[in-house]
């Protein structure tokens, strides 16, 4: 990894060394807010700053990302997406589309349900039956919509009766009988604030995410940093992305490092 690039790795902490005292418990309390409100506030503060850096070096500004997500959020709301509902979210061929869709779902107030095209039909059917999404977006998942018409929608932030206690995400572990892990806006907000306290990001940072849950992409976007999106269909190594796209921080799960 290039010199000067910060790295934060998810995973369990190594076993404590017996002779060292335990780390103090975190005592900071953060006022609860939604995960999307700070992103919209950042877009209003720095509309022309880069929010996304694409493979090849192109950028998407905060204004462009926010407007695209707002139009899609309004189209989703017309289909019933609102606080207390769920939208299924499959993969997208272009990373920018997936991040725009993620942001749109959250802006609508709905929680997103990640769907893996590689899941067995029986498992996928259980997930869909248990959560009853108002619609499914993305590719490779049976029943997913082939896009939504957004040309006539307003680009402004949509209204929503969203609270920190509403769900942001409904996730499931791999294999076997799925058990839901339900993440609220308040919990996601707390986690990203703790990440920000330990690994501060800000304007000028370019953050590469590898092998992480989708909601973590909201962290850089609330700080004025840019998310670097690698092309999943093009092979490459992290060092090359760091050099070519000006990455200043890497957020990576251990499995992404260990994978071949």
Q: How confident is the model at residue 94 (pLDDT cuts 50, 70, 90)?
A: confident
For 212-221, give one letter per residue: b (16+ CB within 10 A) or e.
Answer: ebbbbbbbbb
- Could you tell me if residue 50 is inside a domain? yes
- Could you tell me if residue 58 is inside a domain? yes
pLDDT of residue 65: 98
Is the pLDDT assigned to residue 34 strictly greater than 70? yes
DSSP secondary-structure letter at 156?
A: S
Summarize the confidence of residues 37-62 as an average pLDDT.
Answer: 95
- Could you tell me if residue 71 is inside a domain? yes
pLDDT of residue 234: 57
CA–CA distance, 229 with 59 (Å, rounded to integer): 10
CA–CA distance, 254 with 109 (Å, rounded to integer): 31
- Could you tell me if residue 92 is inside a domain? yes
Alpha helices in 31-61 (DSSP H): 37-45
Per-residue pLDDT tens digits for 192-243: 999 999 999 999 999 998 877 899 999 999 999 999 987 655 556 677 878 8
**Residue length of the chain:** 260
- Could you tell me if residue 5 is inside a domain? no
Per-residue pLDDT tens digits for 149-173: 999 999 999 999 999 999 999 998 7
Q: What are phi and psi of 132, to 5 degrees?
A: 45, 60
Task: Please tell me the least confidently modeled range out of 5-9, 62-66, 100-104, 235-239.
Answer: 5-9
Is the pLDDT assigned to residue 11 strictly greater than 60? no
- Could you tell me if residue 6 is inside a domain? no
The chain-wide mean pLDDT, for the chain, equals 85
CA torsion sign, 226 to 227 to 233 to 238?
Answer: positive
pLDDT of residue 236: 61
Is the pLDDT assigned to residue 26 strictly greater than 60? no
Which pTM does this prediction carry? 0.85
3-class DSSP assignment, residue 116? coil
pLDDT of residue 92: 86
- Could you tell me if residue 10 is inside a domain? no
- CATH code: domain of residue 75: 3.40.50.12780
The number of domains in the chain is 1
Which residues span the domain enclosing 47? 31-258
pLDDT of residue 14: 41
Instruction: Say which residue the tokens 């998310």 belong to.
Output: 227
Per-residue pLDDT tens digits for 98-122: 999 999 999 999 999 999 888 888 8
CA–CA distance, 167 with 176 (Å, rounded to integer): 24
pLDDT of residue 8: 47
pLDDT of residue 231: 67
Residue 168 burial (CB count, 10 A): 26
pLDDT of residue 254: 66
- Could you tell me if residue 143 is inside a domain? yes
Task: Please tell me the least confidently modeled range out of 3-7, 9-13, 36-40.
Answer: 9-13
């Amino acid at each position: 990894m290039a010199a000067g690039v910060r790295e934060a790795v998810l995973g369990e902490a190594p076993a404590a060394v017996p002779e060292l005292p335990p780390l103090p418990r975190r005592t900071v309390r953060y006022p609860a807010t939604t995960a999307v409100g700070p992103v919209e506030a950042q877009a209003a503060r720095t509309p022309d700053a880069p929010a996304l850096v694409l493979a090849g070096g192109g950028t998407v500004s905060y204004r462009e990302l926010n407007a695209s997500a707002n139009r899609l959020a309004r189209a989703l709301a017309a289909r019933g997406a609102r606080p207390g509902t769920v939208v299924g979210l499959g993969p997208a061929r272009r990373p920018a589309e997936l991040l725009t869709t993620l942001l749109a779902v959250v802006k609508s107030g709905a929680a997103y349900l990640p769907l893996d095209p590689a899941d067995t039909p029986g498992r996928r059917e259980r997930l869909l039956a248990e959560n009853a999404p108002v619609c499914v977006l993305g590719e490779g998942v049976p029943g997913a919509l082939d896009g939504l018409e957004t040309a006539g929608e307003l680009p402004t932030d949509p209204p929503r009766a969203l609270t920190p206690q509403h769900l942001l995400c409904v996730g499931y572990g791999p294999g076997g009988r799925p058990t839901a892990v339900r993440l609220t806006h308040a919990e996601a907000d707390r986690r990203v604030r703790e990440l920000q306290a330990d690994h501060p990001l800000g304007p000028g940072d370019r953050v590469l995410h590898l092998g992480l849950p989708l909601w973590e992409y909201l962290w850089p976007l609330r700080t004025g940093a840019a998310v670097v999106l690698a092309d999943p269909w093009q092979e490459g190594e992290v060092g090359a992305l760091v050099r070519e796209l000006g990455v200043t921080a890497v957020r990576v799960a251990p499995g992404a490092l260990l994978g071949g």
